[in-house]
Amino acid sequence: MHILILHGPNLNLLGVREPDVYGHLTLAEVDRRCDDLAAQLNVTLCHHQDNSEGGLIDRVHAAMADCAGVVVNPGGYTHTSVALRDALAGAGLPFVEVHLSNVYKREPFRHHSMLAPLAVGQVAGFGAASYTLGLRALVDWLRERSH
* Least separation in angstroms between CB 134 and ligand DQA: 11
Find the binding residues for ligand DQA in span 13-72 (CB under 6 A): none
Please identify, among the stretches 30-38, 51-59, 96-104, 134-142, the one whose residues bind ligand DQA according to the rule CB under 6 A: 96-104
Pick one of 3, 45, 78, 95: the residue that binds ligand DQA (CB under 6 A).
78
**Least spacing, CB of residue 21 vs ligand DQA, in Å:** 7
Should residue 7 be labelled a site residue for ligand DQA when binding is judged by CB under 6 A? no
Dihedral Cα 124, 11, 91, 39, nearest 10 deg: -80
Pick the binder of ligand DQA from 3, 67, 69, 75 (CB under 6 A).
75
- Are the beta carbons of 84 and 75 closer than 8 angstroms? no
Helix (H) or strand (E) holding 124: strand 121-124
Burial of 30 (0-12, 13-18, 19+ CB in 10 A): buried
- Measured from the CB of residue 68, what is the shortest distance to ligand DQA in angstroms? 23
d(CA 117, CA 113) in angstroms, rounded, equals 8
| Residue ranges binding ligand DQA (CB under 6 A) | 10, 73, 75-76, 78, 99-101, 103, 110
